[in-house]
Amino acid sequence: MYLHIGGDVVISLEGLIGIFDTRIGDSASNDTFFQRALASDAAHVIDPSDIKSVVLTQESIYFSPVSSWTLKKRAFAFADSESFELHLEATHDSTENH
């Protein structure tokens, strides 16, 4: 399945790692991550005047004008809920163990 993340950009849910709200950038480490990501060749800014979320995939980092809440809602609405939930659970379980 695919997820529209703003503008004319659509990504595959299979490669999705995470969707993050840019407001988490209030800490110095998050600010550093966002600045390095923006400078990266893998970064794609959909609308430079309106960045609300960061979408991390296996291939790229997207700065999206769509809120993280809306993107997460879309991902669950359009995904095969059983396989997508299993993927999220596996991802969540692996991050808890680190």
pLDDT averaged per 10 residues in sequence order, the chain, 98 residues: 92 90 74 82 92 92 94 78 50 44
Q: State the pLDDT at residue 16.
A: 92
Q: State the pLDDT at residue 26.
A: 67
Q: Domain residue spans in the chain? A: 2-96
Residue from 21, 1, 16 nearest 70 by CA:
21
Q: State the pLDDT at residue 89.
A: 46
Q: State the pLDDT at residue 80.
A: 55
Q: Where are the beta strands (DSSP E) in 1-98?
A: 2-6, 9-12, 16-21, 43-45, 53-57, 61-64
How open is the CA angle 14-17-21, to the nearest 5 degrees? 130
